[in-house]
Amino acid sequence: MENKVKLELMSKSSNEAFARIAIAAFVSQLDPTIEEIADIKTAVSEAVTNCIIHAYEEKEGIIYVTCILKNREVTIEVQDNGIGIENIDMAKEPLYTSKPELERSGMGFTIIDSFMDEMKIESIVGMGTKVTMKKTIK
Amino acid sequence: MNIKYDEVDKLLTCQITEEIDHHTTEKIRRILDDEIERYIPKRIVFDFDKVSFMDSAGIGMILGRYKMIRMLGGSVEMINVKSNVRKIFEMSGVHKIIQIN
Ligand SMILES: Nc1ncnc2c1ncn2[C@@H]1O[C@H](COP(=O)(O)OP(=O)(O)OP(=O)(O)O)[C@@H](O)[C@H]1O
Ligand SMILES: [Mg+2]
């Protein structure tokens, strides 16, 4: 079984809820548990919010969210053409945030890493960032 | 948001009635800060019974209000926190700073 959906979103905070609900609805065809769906919703929300706050710094931009289902494995890619990440290892550190003045806690990547089975971050400064996350539905 | 203030105990109860993310925290933060400044409560209780979703935006929002209330000499607790929300507070260590009942 293979299935795929692709969303293109304007970088607006009101789209955060739409993105996580749309992906959760798509994944629901695999009959996940309530906890698995909650984990996926949170991970999508973290990655999309990062595009809005960090990649585009609350300015205009497009966010691409792709979700692929292959047997019981869910792969979600969240991509932006924003400012990019200079030091990915540092960005992944729990509690590291470049925007403490916005009351950010620096836990987004740590949450994705722990709620999903796999997380991969690819980024080029000035070009953009792609976060790929995978989770197998039991 | 449902806000209740008990004059005698100087207790402010804030029931948050929506999902907590980057989009909604801007409004929630504004309402809470206004209420806290108005009453200067001795105790504040955040009721999460109606919060079905929260991401990392909630951590910063709650810690920010905690700092403000502590500076004014009050105490903070959270009640009715659902398991998916609790997981996020526990992962970030918030449960060690603010009591979750
Ligand atoms: N899409 C992105 N583009 C550019 N920089 C990013 C992107 N995503 C994350 N970052 C950088 O990585 C850091 C860590 O991200 P993370 O989501 O872990 O924390 P945060 O967003 O700062 O805080 P929180 O998610 O807890 O509110 C950010 O502060 C930012 O500097
Ligand atoms: Mg983040």
Tens-digit pLDDT profile for residues B5-33: 999 999 999 999 999 999 999 999 999 99
B61/A104 Cβ within 8 A: no
Q: What is the ipTM of this complex?
A: 0.95
Task: Name which residue sits closest to atom 25 of ligand 1, judged by CA.
Answer: A108
Dihedral angle of Cα B59, B62, B68, B69, to the nearest 10 degrees = -140
A104 is catalytic: yes
Q: Which residues of A touch B29 (CB under 8 A)?
A: 103
Question: Does the predicted TM-score (pTM) go above 0.95?
Answer: yes
Distance of CA A50 from the midpoint of ligand 1 (Å): 5
DSSP state of B48: -
Question: A88 φ, ψ to 5°?
Answer: -70, -40
Q: Put residue B18 in one of left, alpha, beta given phi > 0 → left and psi -120 to 50 → alpha.
A: beta
Instruction: Report pLDDT digits (tens) over A70-106.
Output: 999 999 999 999 999 999 999 999 999 999 889 999 9
Asked if residues B11 and B46 have their Cβ atoms less than 8 Å apart, the reply is: no
Provide CB contacts within 8 A for B61, sequence distance 6+: A103, B20, B25, B28, B29
Q: Give the domain ranges of chain B.
A: 2-100
C-alpha dihedral over A40, A43, A49, A54, to 10 degrees?
Answer: -150
B2-100 has which CATH code?
A: 3.30.750.24
CA distances to A14, A64, B16, B46, B57 from A49, in Å: 10, 12, 21, 24, 9
Of A53, A42, A72, the closest CA to residue B88 belongs to: A42
For residue A1, what pLDDT is reported? 84
Q: Give the domains, in start order, of chain A with CATH numbers.
A: 2-136 (3.30.565.10)
pLDDT in tens, B88-100: 999 999 999 999 9
Give the nearest chain B residue to A97 (CA atoms). B60
